[in-house]
Amino acid sequence: MAASPSSRPSHALPTDSLAAALLQAAGAIAAVIAGRNLDQALAGTPPAQRPAAQDLAYGALRRYGHGDFLLARLLARPSQEPEVRALLLAALYRLEARPEDAHTTVDQAVSAAAQLAKGRCKGLVNAVLRNFLRRREELLQAAMNNAEARWRHPHWWIAALRAAHPRDWQAVLTAGNGHPPMTLRVNRRRTDGAAYLARLRDAGIEARALDERALLLARPQPVDRLPGFFDGEVSVQDWGAQRAAPLLEAAAGMRVLDACAAPGGKTAHLLELADLDLLALDAASERARRIDDNLARLGLAARVEAADCRAVDQWWDGRPFERILADVPCSASGVARRHPDIKWLRRRADVAGFAATQAQILDALWRVLAPGGRMLYCTCSVFEEENGAQMRAFAARHADARRLPTAGTEPELQLLPTAEHDGFYYALLSKAAA
């Protein structure tokens, strides 16, 4: 069986060289362009090359629209070798990110090209990269006049954002091209925000409090550097995602359903806030196991089942829930900077497909919500079709549904990506008493 692109041998290159990292990144980028998930594409990367290859792959894919625009003007005809094109995308990203290191980037990209297409493309790679350096200002100016190259998102995505957020679409696109923040959620059953912030400072980790439980790190850290992480004192969770549990207002003793729960961050947060009779569902058994693992680390307990929440008759025991969290599958357009492959793997029609699935989930879960109970609808999307339009359609189908305020007096909370949090949408629904 042939090696996957991201695990292609690079035995002729020093394992710690930029050339080896470029080669591994090229394999991952080519796999994503062919339709594969980026994390899966990088999974086979040797440990010594993983950090550099990941940086190159993520960087090239965050700016794919820009790099693709440049290559269309630098290549006389499209390369027939997908990995050679991907190598050029990675090298162009590095030339722009590290202009002071241009000579090394070109040299190492040519060395990497020697490992591809039987070495036939070394001259092509050298010529294209040197041509870019000669024409840099001209090409970058041209890119500013092309929407997909300038904003580094597909045309349809840009149009959808402009329609949904006419005042903020540029800020959302800019945020989507940046690096995501790393935020911690302090487990209030083990410690408090002020005490844990002091522990971070003692460990030499710079952070600041966003609220009484959320701490924003100045720079991302591996979890094994976080004091008490493996003892359950903190979890890594975006500040936007941390809004869910408080909005649901689940009180001690309530029967609660987390319907699409993996990997378990919101499940755990609910249990940190109150002792609940909680059922967590996820359609995939492997993902359901991740919920168990996260709860075990935090010293929390819930019933966890692998089940499709839409197939109510297969998992429901007939007892209604007082609170339901519906953190539904979505386009993930609000977290695209964490998964830059999403921008280029998604199609406009996919959003309609997600919206249809969301409607099915909402209708199924409404059956199991107790009269007088509340359901929190949540997405990590910034597209109107999955958010406000979804809620309006649901309210039109269910006369017993009432919208409750989530942000002051507003019936919905749309968080757009910023330096402090990702993009999330929340709407709280109440079911009329019988």
Catalytic residue among 309, 330, 378, 380: 380
| pLDDT value at residue 1 | 30
**Domains in the chain: ranges and CATH:** 5-150 (1.10.940.10), 183-236 (3.30.70.1170), 241-431 (3.40.50.150)
What is the token pair recorded at 73? 């003007």
322-359, pLDDT tens digit by residue? 999 999 999 999 999 999 999 999 999 999 999 999 99
Residues of the chain whose pLDDT is less than 70? 1-11, 79
Cβ neighbors of 342 (< 8 A, separation 6 or more) are 331, 332, 333, 335, 336
| pLDDT value at residue 2 | 37
Can you give the C-alpha Rg of the chain in angstroms?
24
Q: What percent of the chain has pLDDT over 90?
A: 92
Burial tier of 140 (Cβ tally within 10 Å: 0-12, 13-18, 19+): middle
Which residues of 33-129 form beta strands (DSSP E)? none
Cβ neighbors of 74 (< 8 A, separation 6 or more) are 88, 128, 131, 132, 135, 139
The mean pLDDT value of the chain amounts to 95
Q: How far is CA 179 from each of CA 93, 95, 158, 159, rounded to the nearest angstrom? A: 15, 18, 19, 23
| pLDDT value at residue 409 | 85
| pLDDT value at residue 92 | 98
| pLDDT value at residue 21 | 96
| pLDDT value at residue 48 | 87
138-172, pLDDT tens digit by residue? 999 999 999 999 999 999 999 999 999 999 999 99
Evaluate whether 374 touches 430 at the Cβ level (below 8 Å). Answer: yes
| pLDDT value at residue 310 | 98
Give dist(CA 229, CA 241) in Å, integer.
Answer: 19
From 273, 266, 223, 276, select the one nearest 241 (Cα to Cα): 266
113-137, pLDDT tens digit by residue? 999 988 899 999 999 999 999 999 9
Is 260 considered catalytic here?
no
